[in-house]
Amino acid sequence: MKRPPTASELNLCLCHSCGLACDMSNEPHRCPRCDAPLHRRKTNSLARTWAYMLAALAFYVPANLLPVMNTTLLGDGADSTIMSGVLEFWEHGAWDIALIIFIASIAVPGVKFVALSLLLITVQRGSDWARKERSKLYRFVELIGYWSMLDVLVVALVAALVQFQALGTIEPRPGILFFGLVVVFTMLSAMSFDPRLIWEPPATKERTDVVTH
């Protein structure tokens, strides 16, 4: 297949901050236009992506098991987890809201774990399988990333509103901390991954700076 030249073949490097195609013949360390640090590839991309993702995976367990909020109405207190919140909406017939929360809080992080692992493993094996689709998958992961923050913000708003001492109060519980950490770490993980690795032929992985013009 005929393809356009790549940046390394022309001895160029993309500045991630301003989008300038920087000439690398003098090996500059910073973008001449915006002073941001230049890297041909994100530093330690694979190790960082794995590390952030595994950290997020570890937090995903308490995030789903621990209660995220406590509702006390007229003296009766009840803890609720994310899943029990979804089920409550479902049982009351609000299937649409239940679906939104389920997708944002449980499905999106799950999809991100699977997608990032798939990307990491295929890149490490130097696979050339479905490269275009994997690129699209990465863009999808980046796009859905922060929507999981939904539940944290819902709990915050609800807890700020329902403060009627004896009649009823809602308080956040530690689950929401772990849940927020899952979101932050999966975002960091997706940011550390370098999608250009998908397109790298295995042979040239070691030599990235030999092309001269």
Partner 1 sequence: MAHAAQFIICEHCDCVYEKVPLAKHQKTVCSRCAGVLQRYNGLTVQQRLALSITAAMLWLFANFYPVMSISMQGLKNSATLWDSVLALSQGPITFMAMVAAIAIIIAPAFQLMLLTWVLSFALAQRRAPGFKLAMRWLETLRPWSMLEVCLLGAMVAVFKLAGMLDVLPGIGLFALAALSLLLIRIAGRDVRDLWDLL
Q: 146 to 175, contacts with partner 1 by CB under 8 A? A: 146-147, 149-164, 167-168, 171-174
- In 3-state terms, what secondary structure has residue 171? strand
Number of residues that bind partner 1 (CB under 8 A): 75
Interface with partner 1 (CB under 8 A), residue from 82, 86, 137, 176: 176
Site map (CB under 8 A) of partner 1, residues 179-198, x = contact:
-xx--x--x---x---xx-x
Q: Per CB under 8 A, which of residues 30..89 are in contact with partner 1? A: 33-36, 73, 85, 89
Min dist CB 34 to partner 1, Å, is 5
CA atoms in the 13 A half-sphere facing the CB of 39: 11
Min dist CB 118 to partner 1, Å, is 16
Min dist CB 157 to partner 1, Å, is 4
Q: Per CB under 8 A, which of residues 109..128 are in contact with partner 1? A: none
Which range in 20-28, 51-59, 109-117, 121-129 contacts partner 1 by CB under 8 A?
20-28
Tokens, residue 206: 């070691």
Contacts of 148 (CB under 8 A, 6+ apart): 104, 105, 108, 109, 179, 182, 183, 186
CA distance 21 to 210: 18
Residue closer to partner 1 (CB basis): 35 or 209:
35
Min dist CB 85 to partner 1, Å, is 8
Contacts of 21 (CB under 8 A, 6+ apart): 7, 12, 13, 14, 15
**Using alpha carbons only, what angle is made at residue 127 by residues 57 and 204, rounded to the nearest 5 degrees?**
110
Which range in 10-18, 45-53, 106-114, 119-127 contacts partner 1 by CB under 8 A?
10-18
**Contact between 60 and 204 (Cβ < 8 Å):** no
Min dist CB 213 to partner 1, Å, is 6
CA distance 135 to 194: 10
